[in-house]
């Protein structure tokens, strides 16, 4: 076994090896993301494999928080569909221990693009998917949109596999506004004043783009002062109100206090209205809001959905079109 | 991030090394994982024929 890396792209500081495994730890120079890449060449014997899965699983448990990837020839398949041969040589027990290793280590097994199998015996009849990349959830979050591609077969009876992640460029982020902002007094004024204060020169579309970008920053700041954390704002108003209420139960309130109660009640209503409007608008991204408390889980869910929905390959009249 | 994994089935011959080198230049992986080199020792020379 051999692991080679490009010094100009990654920095590797630890190399270790144990039976059938070669581990490197390092980081990607540009993004500073750390990784553990494990090169695996599994034996054929079921008992030896089981022992190997055990060792890999303990490596996985020790490095739960890392960007960990197992890559190589696992000499195992997960389902009947991953092998094609003349006779039936599918060993359920073999697949079961491999599957439980993958499940118990919480590994992501990406679909294979380009081919169904990675190993082709010379008889042209037997073929299986013996090689693969198994990734940690964390890996998929760090390098999103990972795809596993089988390349052309060459001199070896195995196919080279590539795991790559591509940053999708969705263009500049759009300017989004909350409908409720217009219900807050002073909003229209601040937008008008800020908009005319920007001094941008150039052709029309450029000026518009720049001004939208500049106002986005102002609105963000304004949002933080006025409409951020409505829950807390409502609580404060309610607290003040109940203080005055309980005071009113035992004493007589003076005129100023009565006025304050009226003002507070009005404020409570308008804040509730703003909050409702905000929730209404955000309803579609509710899971994102909820996700703040459980980001990893929701990001995992999201990348899973994206993986599932991505179209890697289309077959048109027996012609396969990739990279669509 | 880009990793290339290949069970090369022996890295002793010139053709195999050439093939791996071609894979590396075409795909430009960050890390290359090779299985079944079928070689007792791997020296700098060999690596430089693979990666250049």
- Give A300-315 as a 3 state SS string: HHHHHHHHHHCCCEEE
Q: Which residues of B touch A161 (CB under 8 A)?
A: 4-6
pTM of the predicted structure, to 2 decimals: 0.63
How far apart are alpha carbons A144 and A170 in whole angstroms?
14
Return the pLDDT at A323: 65
How far apart are alpha carbons A94 and A103 in whole angstroms?
14
Residue A3 touches partner B, C-beta closer than 8 Å:
yes
How many contacts does A have with B, using Cβ atoms within 8 A? Answer: 110
The DSSP symbol for B1 reads: -
Whether the predicted pLDDT of A130 surpasses 70 = yes
Residues A48-61 have pLDDT tens digits of: 999 999 999 999 99
In this prediction, residues A27-54 reach a mean pLDDT of 94
Residue B35 touches partner A, C-beta closer than 8 Å:
yes
Residues A5-23 have pLDDT tens digits of: 999 999 999 999 998 999 9
Whether the predicted pLDDT of A286 surpasses 90 = no
Return the pLDDT at A173: 74
| pLDDT over 90 percentage in chain A | 54
User: Cβ distance A130 to A77 under 8 Å?
Assistant: yes
User: Which residue of A20, A154, A157, A165 is the best one to mutate when testing the B interface, meaning the one whose CB has the most B CBs within 10 A?
Assistant: A154
Taking CA–CA distances from A42, the nearest residue in chain B reads: B35
**Of the candidates B2, B7, B31, which has its C-beta nearest A3's C-beta?**
B31
Q: Quick check: A163 and B1 CB within 8 A?
A: yes
Q: Quick check: A22 and B8 CB within 8 A?
A: no
Q: Quick check: A133 and B5 CB within 8 A?
A: yes
- Closest among A120, A128, A123 to A158, alpha carbons compared: A120
Q: How confident is the model at residue A123 (pLDDT cuts 50, 70, 90)?
A: confident
Q: Quick check: A151 and B27 CB within 8 A?
A: yes
Residue A156 touches partner B, C-beta closer than 8 Å:
yes
Whether the predicted pLDDT of A110 surpasses 70 = yes
Residue B27 touches partner A, C-beta closer than 8 Å:
yes
Q: Quick check: B1 and A143 CB within 8 A?
A: yes
A158 against A289, higher pLDDT: A158
- Write out the two tokens for A236: 């404060």
Q: Quick check: B37 and A3 CB within 8 A?
A: no
Helix axis angle for B14-27 and B44-51, nearest 10°, is 50
Q: Where do runs of H (alpha helix) occur along chain B?
A: 14-27, 44-51
Return the pLDDT at A312: 79
Q: Quick check: A5 and B47 CB within 8 A?
A: no
Q: What is the mean pLDDT of chain A?
A: 88
In this prediction, residues B32-44 reach a mean pLDDT of 90
Q: Quick check: B6 and A37 CB within 8 A?
A: no
Return the pLDDT at A294: 62
Whether the predicted pLDDT of A129 surpasses 90 = yes
How far apart are alpha carbons A191 and A222 in whole angstroms?
10
Q: How close A31 comes to chain B (CA, Å)?
A: 10
- Closest among A263, A289, A178 to A224, alpha carbons compared: A178
In this prediction, residues A250-265 reach a mean pLDDT of 89
Residues A214-240 have pLDDT tens digits of: 999 999 889 988 888 888 899 999 999
Return the pLDDT at A293: 59
In this prediction, residues A160-164 reach a mean pLDDT of 95
Q: Quick check: A162 and B27 CB within 8 A?
A: yes
User: Cβ distance B40 to A106 under 8 Å?
Assistant: no
């Amino acid at each position: 076994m051999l692991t080679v890396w490009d010094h100009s792209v990654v920095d590797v500081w630890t190399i270790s090896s144990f039976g059938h495994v070669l581990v490197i730890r390092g980081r990607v120079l540009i993004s500073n993301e750390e990784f553990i890449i494990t090169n695996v060449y599994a034996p054929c014997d079921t008992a030896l494999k089981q022992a190997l899965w055990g060792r890999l699983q303990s490596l996985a448990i020790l490095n739960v928080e890392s960007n960990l990837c197992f890559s190589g020839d696992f000499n195992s398949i997960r389902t009947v569909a991953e092998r094609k041969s003349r006779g039936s040589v599918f060993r359920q027990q073999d697949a079961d221990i491999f599957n439980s290793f993958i499940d118990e280590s919480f590994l992501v097994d990406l679909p294979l693009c380009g081919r169904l199998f990675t190993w082709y015996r010379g008889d042209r009849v037997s073929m299986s998917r013996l090689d693969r990349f198994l990734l940690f959830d964390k890996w998929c979050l760090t390098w999103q949109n990972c795809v596993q591609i089988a390349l052309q077969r060459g001199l070896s009876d195995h196919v080279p596999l590539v795991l790559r992640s591509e940053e999708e460029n969705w263009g500049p982020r759009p300017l989004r506004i909350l409908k409720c902002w217009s219900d807050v007094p002073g909003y229209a004024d601040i937008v008008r004043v800020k908009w005319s204060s920007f001094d941008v020169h150039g052709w029309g579309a450029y000026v518009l783009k720049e001004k939208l970008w500049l106002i986005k920053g102002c609105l963000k700041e304004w949002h933080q002062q006025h409409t951020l954390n409505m829950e807390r704002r409502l609580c404060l108003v309610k607290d003040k109100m109940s203080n005055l209420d309980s005071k009113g139960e035992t004493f007589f309130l003076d005129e100023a206090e009565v006025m304050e109660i009226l003002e507070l009640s009005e404020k409570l209503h308008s804040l509730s209205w703003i909050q409702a409007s905000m929730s209404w608008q955000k309803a579609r991204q509710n899971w994102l809001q909820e996700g703040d408390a459980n980001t990893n889980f929701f990001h995992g869910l999201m990348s899973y959905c994206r993986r599932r929905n991505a179209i890697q390959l289309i077959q048109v009249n027996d012609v396969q079109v990739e990279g669509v | 991030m880009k990793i290339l994994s290949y069970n090369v089935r022996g890295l002793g011959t010139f053709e195999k090394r050439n093939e791996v080198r071609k894979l590396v230049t075409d795909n430009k992986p960050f890390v290359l994982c090779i299985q079944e080199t079928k070689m007792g020792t791997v020296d700098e020379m060999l690596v430089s024929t693979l990666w250049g």
